[in-house]
Every structure is written in C-alpha cells, then in structure tokens.
Structure 1
Amino acid sequence: MTRTITAEQQAFVEAVKDFVRRECGTRERRLELTGGGTRTHSDELYRKMAGLGWLGVAIPEELGGAGGGMVDACLFLEETAYGMAPIGGHGPARITAGVYQRFGTPAQRESVLKRFCEGSVLAISMSEPGAGSDVGALTCRAERTADGWRVNGQKTWCSNAHFADSILLIARTDSSGDKHQGLTMFHVPAGTAGLDIRQIDTMGGREVNDLFFTDLELPADAVVGEVDHAWRQLMGGLNTERLILAAMMLGTARRAFDDTLAYIKQREQFGQPIGSFQALAHRIADLATELECCTLLVYSVAAQVDSDPARLLPRQASMAKLKVTETAKRIALEGMQMMGGYGYATEYEMERHVRATVVSTIYGGTSEIQREIIAKTYGL
C-alpha cells in the first residue's frame, strides 16, 4: 500500500513487523498469549512493546514518550493490527491518553501519560443504556460534595475497564442548560470504592463492560479539564479518536485481504486455482483499489493533524473512519465468501476478521453518525 513516509518511519515499520512476527506471528502463539483466545490483551506482550518505547510514540518526550506525531501512531496501530498482535487495550488507551495530553493538569499528565508509556491500560467511559450515539443524553451524575464529587449512575460498553488502571469518566454535573453543556470528565483509578464492573459477553469475546457507580467519592482534583465543558473537550479529540480507529482497521483490512489472496491462489477447484476465475479475480481487483484509497486517506489526514495539531478536521476524520471501517467490513465478508466454509471455520482467521470489522462500523461513532457529521460540514 502507498504511504509517503520518511526513511526513519519505514525503519520503525520494519522493526514493528519483525517484532510482531517473532513474538506473536503464529496462531498457536497468539492463543498462548490470550488464554486460548479468551482475552484480547496480553500484558506480557504489551510491556515488551512499552520497553521498546513504542506505546508512547506520539507522546511528548518530557512525558516519557518518543515525541512523534499522528503519522507515527498510525503506522504502529496499522502494523500491530495487521500482525494481529493481542494488544486490545492499546487503541482505547491511546484515545484516552490523548484527552489527558490535551486537557489534563500537569500532575495528571505527568502521572497518567508516563504510566501509559510504560504499559498502563486506560479506558474511557461515555455510553449509557439510554445514551449511545446521542452522548448529550447521558444521565450518570456527579454531584459536588464538601471534599470533591460523588458519582451515581450506570455506564455501558466500556472497553477494557476490567483490566484498565484507570477510567476516564464523562458524567453530568449540570442539567440546567443545553444537553451538551454540563458534562465533566473525571479521572477514576481502578479499584475505587463504589465502582462495580461487570463484563458483557459479545461476539468478540469479553472486551466491554457495564459500569455501576454507587456513591463513588472522588477528590476535587479528579476533574480532567474544565467543569461542565466535557462536550467541547470531546469534540477537540475527535481527530485523534477517529484516526486511531481508522488506522487499526486499515491494518485488519490489509490482513483480511492478504489472507484471502493467499487462499484463492492455492485453493483449487475444477482443476485450477479459484483465484483464476474472473468472478473472484475481479473482486480482488475492486478490494485492492478500495484498500489503496483507504491508505491514502488515513495518512493524508494524519499528516494534516501533524501539520497543525490544534486544527479540527471533522469532515476528514469522519471520512477516514467511515471509509476504512466500511471497507474493512466489506473485505472481510468478501473474504469469507471466497473462502467458503473455511472462511467460517475457527481454524482460519477470517471469521475473526469478520467479527472485528463488523463492530468497527459501530463503536467510536457509527457509520450513520459519521455520514451525518460529513453532511453537516457541507451545510446540510
């Protein structure tokens, strides 16, 4: 795929590829690292990557990172996803780290970001049973107390909360105005009294959780950013969140494509490789073209972010998330179809690619929401 990157960045890509190939390059090794596939995250592997300085590739050097930019982060996310590295905690943690980097106090940035670079997993909790795409409808409430804040309510679909070191909570602190006002972010350390985490079983295994807050007490300095202005802070981080998700799915899409291509080249029916039949060859041509478009889009937007990190790119970031996740889903489903029954069998990875790509069009803002955002940037 076409990526305009420096020689140093290409060397970084090769180093990541080599590491992933050695450490988790076989299905057997990945199963070993994940308890037979029951977990999405291997702390052992993650800590090794932290030791190489890769987790903080886009975190400032003074906070323990490598001082790189969004292009560097996308390269790491894409290559680890392509290699199917079991580091399911990284994407959400990288999104959450970005919030602390932009809006945290000096003490929060010093503590949280340094621990992130060292292998700490972070989670962010927005969705509620009655507030998914409509984040402004959330009702989990934080009320002021003499010493800080008291939180009560329920959250859901919180990725990785069951093994995260801390959770970035978005709660309602004022109901008197517009629903997008009166929201505040809070730093909630793991194990805080009053927090009950219950895992949700899904097609992808146990990745997400329900969170129940019952009189959970937080100190005044747990606020991240400004009280009542979490919505504005969330909007300021959308470039990062959507690009992270797009880069991850770009890697998965590439892997699904390559797995499909390898299969149809060696699988024979009617005396010849099935890839030689025009019906499949033309599908591959279309998918390869779409994949090339996705690569160009992701790295174009990443480069724009690096050229002006403060600039909001709602149209471009939403386009990247929409285009890549929908293309990844199409590639995986087409791959399953071309592989026939083997695509559905768990001894092959295609069924996992399908599960991973289908849900990618839902989390981080559904495809429908991305289309709404893009349309609004055109005055519609």
Structure 2
Amino acid sequence: MDLDFTDEQRDFAAAVADFCKREQWVTHPHDQTVYEKMAALGWLGVTESCLVDTCLFLEQTAYGMAPIGGFATSAIVAGAVRRFGSEQQQATVCGGLADGRTFSIAMSEPEAGSDVAALACRATPGADGTWVINGQKTWCSNAHFADAILLVARTSGSPGDHDGLTMLLVPTGTPGLRISGIDTMGGREVNDLYFTDCVVPADAVVGAIGQGWRQLMAGLNLERLILAALMLGTAQRAFDDALAYIRERKQFGRPIGTFQVQRHRIADLATEIECCRLLVYRVAALADREPGRVLARESSMAKLKTTEVAKEVALAGMQMMGGYGYATEYDMERHVRATLVSTIYGGTSEIQRDIIGKTYGL
C-alpha cells in the first residue's frame, strides 16, 4: 500500500508545525484563544475530510504541545454525530467543532469502565417525549469547558446488556447536571458528572434508541486513531527533547549521548517510533479507503502499540535526563504524565490486547 502523502498533506502538516513553533503559549491543557485561532484557519474541521489528514493534524499539534486538549473529545463526538445525528445535531456539533466549540463524551461510571455493557446511568421517558436522566459518570475529559456532552445512558434493559444503551446530547448548562473536577497528576482535566432528574428533549437522542453500543462500535476507527496519533506526536517530541539533552549534557569529559548505552537506546526508540508512524498512517489510509469498515484489529493495534511506545520513550527520556527529567523546568515530566495515562483511557492496553486476540478466534 502506498502511504506517500500528497503535496497538500505535506503542506498542511508543515503549516501546523510552523504555527506551533511561532505561537507563544503557557502550558495548559486547553487554551480557547489558541483553539479559536486554529478554527479560523479551518483546521478544526479536518475530521470532515479524511483520517490521514486528522492524524497529521494531531501528530503535529501534539508534537508542538499545542494547548487544544478539547479537540480530541470534540472530534470523537463530531464523528458519532456525523454518522448518526440529525441535520440539526450535525449543524450544532460538526459545525460547532469547525467554529471552535468543544464537546465531551461520557461513558465510564464508578462501576463500569472497560465493561461498557455494565453502564447503569439511566434515561427514562418523561412528559412530552422528554428524557429524564439520573446517575453518575466519571473520568469525563473536558466536560468542565465543553458546550455539550455526548452521554451514553441506559434506556432499557439491565446492567450487563449491550442492548438498551442510547446516545443523548446534553448541553452542559442543563438543570440537573452537576460537573465536579477530579484532581489528577495532570491537574483537573477529567470530571465526575452527576445527573439528578436532568431533563432533555426528545431530539437530544443521537441515532436510534437502544442502539448506542452498535453506534459506539462504528466509531472505533476514529477514536483509537485519534489517541494513537496524539501519542505518536508526543513520543516524537519526547524523543527529540531527550536527544537534544544528551547531545549537550557532558559527563566524564564528553557528551553523554556518545556513550554506547545511550546510542543504542536512541536507536531502539527511534525504530519503535517509526514502526508506530507506519502503523498509524496505514490504518488511517485503510479507514479512508473503506469508510464503513470497522478495523477492530488494526485500530486496536495502532492504539496499543503507539501508547505503549510513547510511554517507553518518555520514561527512557526521563532516565536519560536524570534529575532534570523529573524537574518541571523541562517538558519531559509532562511527557511522562501524558503517556502514562494514554495506556488507560480510550480502552486500556489490556483491553486492546484482548480485542486483538479475539479477532484471531481466541
């Protein structure tokens, strides 16, 4: 398969990289001003075109450490709405993303993480076709600044059933919804959501009632490739930061990068990153070629391999930099935090391995 990028794609990636080099920003998960600048350039609508373009954008912004943390969840929500939403929902979400609005998705619960079928947060029919939501969601990224949340709630059946789940679009200002930040290593990037008699209209349903599980499965290519491309950019940045350090840092009278142990470590990490890059863009190209095909094995491989390699690169970078790798004066400690959690969210590495194994009939 020919994975050569077009001239337009190369120019696009170069433009994003140049933007990240020229702009000055304080390290923060999400800066709405920077986000809106990218929207004005037409870049936030890249998910409407093709997945290869999306991965190029994500790799370059992650490498440039652009503070647009809300983009990934917004793109995942937009993908679901584009496939299953009404014209009005598509205008609100897909058009809103292109204009610089942010969205979040809520699936995990205190007793349901990897086991999505165990979801218990329930939406029941109310008056005049409305839905009344009660329950709790947790680990909800970016909900504290999102315009709306794509909620996966149970509308029928019991926890343990894949059937009976429904997607609902809930504006964050809806009465009965309380958003509470969770303190983590990266600050307050994730949230608990508490729904208490939270009422949404009938047209809040995205797609078909009771078909939320199947709709989620249809979006696996996009979600896993988004996470893989982000960590590809982060891995490359961590690698380049470590390489620059060991070229300059001297011990025993010479740069530490000239010692064989460091040369071999760099060689191994560079090879692993290149393997990830080929895998990510191969899967993106396959998904673009066959948009309706769910690449469960391939997308899981991309997410698994890239997040694990990114974690390996960041931890190796910290080790190579010694105490400076742990200091906030340098970016390496941030790379470590970002990559450690990447093997957990969006489906843990263990779950990805299980999925891949099942595709071989095991």
TM over 0.5: yes
Report the Cα offset of residue 107 of structure 1: 1.4
Q: Tell me the CA shift for residue 146 of structure 1.
A: 2.2
Partner of 1:64: none
Deviation string, structure 1 residues 194-252 (Cα, Å, up to 9, x no partner): 00000000001110000000000011111001101100000000000000000000000
Secondary structure in 1 matching 2:360? coil
Match of 1:80 among 32, 39, 61: 61
8 A contact 2:119–2:160 mirrored in 1: no
Tell me which residue corresponds to 2:14: 14
The answer for the alignment partner of 1:365 in structure 2 is: 347
| Match in the other structure for 1:55 | 44
Distance 1:120 1:177, change over 3 A: closer
Which amino acid is 1:5 matched to? F
Map residues 344-359 of structure 1 onto 2, 5 A cutoff: 344-359=326-341
Cα RMSD (Å): 1.2
Where in structure 1 do 4 or more consecutive aligned residues deviate above 4 Å?
none
The answer to whether the aligner puts 1:99 opposite 2:80 as a matched pair is yes
Residues 120 and 159, structure 2, Cα contact 8 Å, conserved in 1: no
Letter in 1 for 2:57: F
1:161 corresponds, among 143, 164, 172, to: 143
> Aligned-pair distance for 1:343?
0.3
SS at match of 2:44: coil
Tell me the secondary structure at the aligned position of residue 200 of structure 2: strand
Deviation of residue 329 (structure 1)? 0.0
SS of residue in 2 equivalent to 1:116: helix
Opposite residue 106 of structure 2, the aligned amino acid is S
How far the C-alpha of 1:177 sits from its partner, in A, is 9.0
Cα distance change, pair 72–203 in 1 and its aligned pair in 2 (3 A): same
1:55-89 CA deviation, whole Å, 9 max, x = no partner? 00122xxxxxxxx2000000000000000001111
Question: Corresponding residue for 1:235?
Answer: 217
Report the secondary structure of 1:58's partner residue.
helix
Matched, 1:44 2:26: no
Matched, 1:298 2:280: yes
CA contact (8 A) 1:70 1:303 kept: yes
Match of residue 232, structure 2, among 227, 240, 250 = 250
Separation in 1, partners of 2:151, 2:16: 32
SS in 2 for 1:30: coil
Give aligned pairs, total. Answer: 360
Assess, with a 3 A threshold, how the Cα gap between structure 1 residues 280 and 42 changes in structure 2: closer, same or farther: same
Give the secondary-structure state (helix, strand or coil) at the position aligned to 1:378. Answer: coil
Instruction: Verify the 8 A CA contact 1:30 1:85 in the aligned structure 2.
Output: no
**Deviation at 1:4?**
2.1
The aligned counterpart of 1:145 is 126
- Contact 2:136–2:192 (Cα < 8 Å) also in 1: yes
CA distance in 2, matches of 1:346, 1:107: 45
Q: Give 1:369's aligned amino acid.
A: I
Q: Give the superposition deviation at 1:332.
A: 0.1
| Structure 1 residue 323: Cα displacement | 0.1
Seen in structure 2, the aligned counterparts of structure 1 residues 178 and 271 have a Cα distance that, compared at 3 Å, is: closer
Q: In the alignment, which of 6, 21, 26 is matched to residue 30 of structure 1?
A: 26
Unaligned runs of 5+ in 1: 35-39, 60-67
1:161-214, Cα deviation, whole Å (9 max, x unpaired): 000000000000111696101000001012000000000000011100000000
Identity of aligned residues (%): 66
Paired residues for 1:109-258 under 5 Å: 109-147=90-128, 148-175=130-157, 179-258=161-240
Counterparts of 1:127 and 1:279 in 2: how far apart (Å)? 42
Structure 2 unmatched runs, 5+ = none
CA distance in 1, matches of 2:68, 2:203: 30
Q: What SS class does the counterpart of residue 347 from structure 1 fall into?
A: coil
Residue identity matched to 1:122: F
Equivalent pair of 1:81/1:248 in contact (CA under 8 Å):
yes
In structure 2, relative to structure 1, the CA distance for the partners of 1:319 and 1:260 (3 Å cut) is same
- Counterpart amino acid of residue 180 in structure 1: H
Q: Give the partner amino acid of 1:345.
A: A
Q: Supply the AA of the counterpart residue of 1:71.
A: V
